[in-house]
Homo-oligomer: A and B are copies of this chain.
Amino acid sequence: MTGSHTLGETEARVANRLSHMKLDFEAMAVSSNLFRAASAVRNHFERNVLSDSGLSWTAFVVLWVTWIWEPAETRDIAAEAGISKATLTGVLSTLEKMELVVRSRSTEDGRLVLVTLTKKGQNLMETLFPAFNRQEVEVVSPVPDNKRGDLADMLRAITAKIEG
């Protein structure tokens, strides 16, 4: 535990501090635990999987999306990675400097930039992603086998509700 307050302590304190307001505490618990979990898992991955390769979280996500959709259009990468196109410009420059990806102009549409992985980038993902997945298994392990599908579905539903 990083802080000095447990999750239970915090939620109890919150309920007490805000008892005079008309609030939906269950919705608050879901939202708050969503961010806590995402943040904890991300930090865990950064420390245990990404730190050796010198990749930031976002750089890894961009690399992963490119790996899946290669050759990938930058507008799609930004959308899939959940970052702005301005941010992507900088991250792609970093990845190019590391010689993991290559940018190229589309011949069909001069506005578009296509991104592909270098051989070095492919090799990295080929070893990095299985290691990443092993940590995913570790992280999800406290959720019972037969409830993981439900969990993914509920998270999908929340995303769809917002982006839908």
Q: Which residues of A contact B (CB under 8 A)?
A: 1-5, 7, 10, 13-14, 17-18, 21-24, 26-31, 33-44, 67-69, 75-76, 79-80, 82, 129-130, 133, 136-137, 139-143, 147-152, 154-164
Q: Determine how close the nearest CB of chain B comes to the CB of A127; give it in whole angstroms.
A: 11
Residue contact A33 to B147, C-beta cutoff 8 Å: no
Residue contact A35 to B30, C-beta cutoff 8 Å: no
Number of this chain's copies in the complex: 2
Residue contact A3 to B79, C-beta cutoff 8 Å: yes
- With A and B bound together, what is the CA distance between A44 and B158 in angstroms? 11
Residue of B nearest to A130 (CB): B21
Q: Determine how close the nearest CB of chain B comes to the CB of A91; give it in whole angstroms.
A: 15
Residue contact A163 to B26, C-beta cutoff 8 Å: no
- With A and B bound together, what is the CA distance between A67 and B17 in angstroms? 9
Residue of B38, B75, B136 near A24 (CB, 8 A) is: B136
Residue of B nearest to A61 (CB): B35
A34-B34, A38-B38, A142-B158 are known; give 18 further A-B pairs, CB within 8 A: A2-B79, A3-B75, A4-B76, A5-B76, A5-B79, A23-B130, A26-B140, A27-B137, A29-B148, A29-B152, A30-B136, A34-B41, A36-B159, A38-B39, A40-B163, A44-B162, A150-B150, A151-B154
Q: Determine how close the nearest CB of chain B comes to the CB of A136; give it in whole angstroms.
A: 4
